[in-house]
Structure 1
Amino acid sequence: MVMAAVALLLVMEVILIGFGGTNGLRMGYYITSCPFAESIVKNTVNKALQNDPTLAAALLRMHFHDCFIEGCDGSVLIDSTRDNTAEKDSPGNLSLRGFEVIDDAKEQLEEQCPGIVSCADVVAMAARDAIFWAGGPIYDIPTGRKDGRRSKIEDTINLPFPSFNTSQLITAFGQRGFTPTDMVALSGAHTLGVARCSFFKNRLRNQDPTLDPDFAKALSKTCGAGDNAEQPFDDTPNSFDNDYFNALSRENGVLFSDQVLYTTTATRAIVNGYAMNEARFFLDFQQAMVKMGRLDVKEGPKGEVRKNCRKTN
């Protein structure tokens, strides 16, 4: 049975290689070296999400925060040391979680295929599998990323801030090669998860005119429990759908950087399009995710395959 499965995977590799890849990535990268890599990650993610559905948002956000800084190289997983404060300990990353899911998958992969599957690829595969588990689009991604050796708090200054206006968002994403449509589609990742009061309370203090008055009362009630109190981005925080964009059209965007997508003429049509057509959102989102997963990937000697995702070899 196992030999037959491997033989089938070898045939698939020949077919997939024809699609090629960029930056050293290709479909079916582990077909011969670790044929069950993707199933190990998928099973680990599914098991974790069955116990805690909120981890879908966490795994997706982790992938974004990894790729946006220094490229998709698993640098967000590295722990700080006495001599270095790593990315994960920056203010913008303190709410990241789900690292134990990546650790679990990596431990299993090291048992099956020592030194073969990078932590960066595990993060990318975990995000994809989490999206599908939550009801989002299914898509394939090329693999072959290597793990970076650099993880520094100062690099996270390039993360988009919740206070960004549309122009700042377009610039920040544009510097990474994304179009405004890509940016709005990727913002749709907020269809999953929650935001802490500390990230939106300034909108309440300054009486943000883009905020629906009744929704402002709901946010104020949330913040009554403190800065760490959580507010869902939409009414279905564990389901990947287009409800986030419908919320924006009702002026129910939680973060300022959410609501400006609707209040700004340059992006309102995109938001309306996704609110009316979930399939369109799914298509643009998966294409943008594949694009993001190719950002500044490390090749050959520029990277490594970590044995432990929390520290360099």
Structure 2
Amino acid sequence: MTEKDLTDRRFYPAEEEAGFADADPSVTPQTQHPAYKLAFRDTDFMLRDELRPVRFQLELLKPEMLLDEAGVGSTLVMYGSARIPSPEEAQAKIDAAKSGTEQEQRVAANLAAKAKYYQEAYTLAKLVSEKSIIEDGQRQFVVTSGGGPSIMEAANRGASEAGAESIGLNIVLPHEQAPNAYVTPYLSLNFHYFALRKMHFLLRAKAVAVFPGGFGTFDEFFELLTLIQTGKMKPLPILLFGKEFWTRVVDFEAIADEGTISHKDLDLFHWCETADEAWAHIAEFYDLER
């Protein structure tokens, strides 16, 4: 391109400008001071409290751009515990607790009994991924998890073993946290802000499968219900796995009977126990082949 080219931009791109700065041989008190750094390359500056709005914007924009570039049209989001073992690990968890307290043994047995949901999460992710639904040139129902272990691992593993890409939305925590090995590397995203992470879970979601889980799963599940109940989000299939677990820890009927929600709000989610049931409900909702 020449300076006479009508399609040429008049300003250098940021990457090229950064190269100019790197090539500057000047070593003076002025050029060595942090104040002289280009603002977008100054990590200390970007991490200041005053820059929080900018970091919010970046954390919203980066995943959106990467998912667009990857051709992700819609997602199947899968929420669930980070503690439920796989069927292969269930007995080992029980054995490991034998020398512990009665409570520890009971908890281990309860978690091991939920290993079937690891299997169902894996099966659902594999089933949907194998369908390879493409619409408008984009992949639909791309499996998306929180990127961690247990139910999240099962989701990414099912997609991976179907030969499909899957998304992992990880988050920085005070304790060590790493993506599970089955997340597609270029779709493995990391977040600082829970709020932005939760937004990206739902921006492309066309269905959400919720498995037994803890505070994080409750948070994600009830926020989703709230968004749909209040009309901020259009209805979509919410597949709630594990009726025995959920009705034991949450008395949905009692909440409705108390009048703080309507009984019709209980229709916002659909009870499931198997991957086949979940896909049947999704297929019915969107008029797809089963």
Task: Pick the TM interval, shorter chain.
Answer: under 0.3
TM-score, normalised via structure 2 length: 0.26
* Structure holding more strand per residue: 2
Higher relative contact order (CA 8 A, sep 6+): 1
Q: TM-score, normalised by structure 1?
A: 0.24
